[in-house]
Each structure stands twice: as structure tokens, then as C-alpha cells.
Amino acid sequence: MLAELVQFLFAGLTAGAIYALVGLGFGLIYNASHVINFAQGEFVMLGGMTTVFAAAAGLPLAAAVAVAILVTVAAGLALEMVAVPTRNASVVTLIIITIGASISYRGAAQAFFDKQFHTLPSFSGEDPIDFLGAAILPQTLWVLGITVLIVIALQLFFHRTLLGKAVLATSHNRLAARLVGINVQLVLLLSFGLSAALGAIAGVLITPITSTNFEVGIMLGLKGFCAAILGGLGSGVGAVVGGLLVGLIEAFGAGYISSEYKDAMAFGIILLVLFFMPSGLFGKRTTERV
């Protein structure tokens, strides 16, 4: 019983950590530009796929990961330069632009890489670790550990560095930030770049467990959007809590109720939460924004 519970718990936390990273990416871009970036999942896909192909070309894993993050960041910066300057664009128009970008990224991955499923070797072996009777893959610990490190690093960045504070200031009031001399254009580029990097890292972390192909970004992007909305759009704490919740609901739903309906349960609970809390769990109350 306990072993089963622990097993589901870790499965949920692992998926949840990835959703949290994607959700944080949504929040970063939303705060800086008020754009909901539907290409966020494609950053995850680009991170995983580029690492696979760079490694296959002979690069050591660490170098392949670095290349993948650079490529994905470049994709993010390109999106910023193309999408954000669009004048007179309504929210829906901007959503369609990012959906166009997501289709382009998928199309590019399909054309320049391929349509097959690929996996990466785990960072430190495949032998499961026995923990309270549950079998935990070492990669799970990598996912959780790196996610925790990233969340701490972001927290420090936003509260201890001038640049981080400039990003926060821009997210609260772009005009006022410009008036006090913050380079808003730089902040926008930084937010898109950082968001893309988070996605790429999530993609590299999850590929050894779930494998990747050019279409994995669709579902991961949607789940990350769920995480961001469930937590309250733009809230950093919200994205992390939302991501973990979505992951846990899925894992326990699949384990104890029905594996076919695990996604439906996640979406159903988000609908319920929104009905009673129309701006997510941490939407209004928090003053802290990532």
C-alpha cells in the first residue's frame, strides 16, 4: 500500500516539476509582455530534440545540452522580436501569433530533425533506487533536484539582483519602469530568453524518462498552461504549486481511479477551481511575481 502510494507520489512530483518549469516559463513571458506564449511547450521539445541530435552528432552530453539551451534561447528571442512589437494587436491576435510560432517550431523540428521518438541516456544510470518499497529512477531525483535549484535561483535572481528587480518592476508597470530608466526592451528579451531556457532544461530532464519527438510540446505546453492558470497567471509560487498539483492529480488519478481519464481529471479539477476562484489559487492574493 505504502509502496504504491510512494510510487505514485514520485511519479506525480516528477511530472509536476516539469509542468512547474513550463508554467514558470508562461508566467515569465506573461509578466513581461502580457503575451500568453502557446509555443512554450515547443521550447521543451526543442530542448530535448536538439540535445538528442547534438549528442548523436558526437558531442558529449553536457555540450549537447548547452547547444540545445542556446538553440532554444535563440528561438525564444526570435519570437520576442517578431511577436511583441506587433501594434494594435489584441490578446487573441497575440495568441494566434504564438500558435503560429509553435506550428513553425514543430514544422522545423520535423523538417530538420525527424518524426521518430528519441530518448537520452539517464544522467546517472538506470538502476532504480528502492525507497519505502517503491522503485525510484535516479533520473527522477535529477528532475526534482534541478527543479528545486532553478526555483531557488529564480527567487534569488528576482529579489537579490538589480536586473531581477528590473524585471519585477516591468511586470508591475511597464511605463513606470521605463520612467525610472529600466531598459524595457532588454527586460523583454531577457524574459523570453529565460523562459525558453527553462523550457529547454525541462525538455532535457524529462527526455530520459518519457522520450521525445517533434509533437511532445503540445501536451506539455497545455499542462504547463494548466499549471500557470491553476496557480494564478504570473505568480511564481502559483506556477510551482499549480504544476505539482496537476502532476499529482494525474498520477493519483491514473493510479487509483482510471488511467484513461487522468488528463480529464486534471482538466476537470482546474475547471472546478476556476469556477470558485476565477483567478487561480494565488492569482490576486500574492504580491510576489516571478
Query: Given candidates 4, 74, 107, 152, which one binds another protein under the rule CB under 8 A?
Result: 107
Amino acid occupying residue 211: S
Q: Which residues on adjacent β-strands are paired with residue 142?
A: none
Of residues 34 and 165, the one with the C-beta less far from another protein: 34
Q: Are 178 and 5 in contact (CB under 8 A)?
A: no
> In the range 70-99, which residues lie near another protein by CB under 8 A?
82-83, 86-93, 95-97, 99
Is residue 57 part of the contact set for another protein (CB under 8 A)? no
Query: Given candidates 101, 134, 143, 209, which one binds another protein under the rule CB under 8 A?
Result: 101
> In the chain, where do the E strands start and end?
129-131, 134-136
Query: Given candidates 45, 69, 226, 240, which one binds another protein under the rule CB under 8 A?
Result: 226
Query: Given candidates 110, 210, 211, 286, which one binds another protein under the rule CB under 8 A?
Result: 110
Encoded one letter per residue, x for contact with another protein by CB under 8 A and - for no contact, window 230-269 reads ---x--------------------------xx-xx--xx-
Q: Which residues on adjacent β-strands are paired with residue 212?
A: 118
Query: Given candidates 157, 279, 286, 288, which one binds another protein under the rule CB under 8 A?
Result: 279
Per DSSP, 128 falls in state P
Please tell me whether residue 124 adopts helix, strand or coil conformation: coil
Identify the burial level of 278 via C-beta atoms within 10 angstroms of its C-beta, where 0-12 means exposed, 13-18 middle and 19 or more buried.
exposed
Q: Are 217 and 106 in contact (CB under 8 A)?
A: yes
Question: What is the CA angle 269-274-279, rounded to 5?
Answer: 135
What's the grid cell of residue 204? 532535457
Nearest distance in Å: CB 81, another protein? 11
Is residue 225 part of the contact set for another protein (CB under 8 A)? yes
Of residues 110 and 211, the one with the C-beta less far from another protein: 110
Nearest distance in Å: CB 56, another protein? 19
Q: What value does the CA radius of gyration of the chain take, rounded to a whole number of Å?
A: 19
Binders of another protein: how many residues, by CB under 8 A? 46
Of residues 105 and 142, the one with the C-beta less far from another protein: 105
Q: How far is CA 103 from the centre of its chain?
A: 18
Q: Are 27 and 233 in contact (CB under 8 A)?
A: yes
Region of 272 please: left (phi>0), alpha (psi -120 to 50) or beta.
Answer: alpha
- The residue to which cell 503575451 is assigned: 35
Is residue 275 part of the contact set for another protein (CB under 8 A)? yes
Of residues 71 and 182, the one with the C-beta less far from another protein: 71
Query: Given candidates 131, 164, 218, 255, which one binds another protein under the rule CB under 8 A?
Result: 218
Provide DSSP, 57-113. TT--HHHHHHHHHHHHHHHHHHHHHHHTT-TT--HHHHHHHHHHHHHHHHHHHHHHS
> In the range 125-184, which residues lie near another protein by CB under 8 A?
none
Nearest distance in Å: CB 6, another protein? 27
Query: Given candidates 17, 18, 32, 36, which one binds another protein under the rule CB under 8 A?
Result: 36
Kindly list the residues in this chain that would bind another protein in the complex (CB under 8 A): 30, 36, 82-83, 86-93, 95-97, 99-108, 110-111, 218, 222, 225-226, 229, 233, 260-261, 263-264, 267-268, 270-271, 274-275, 278-280
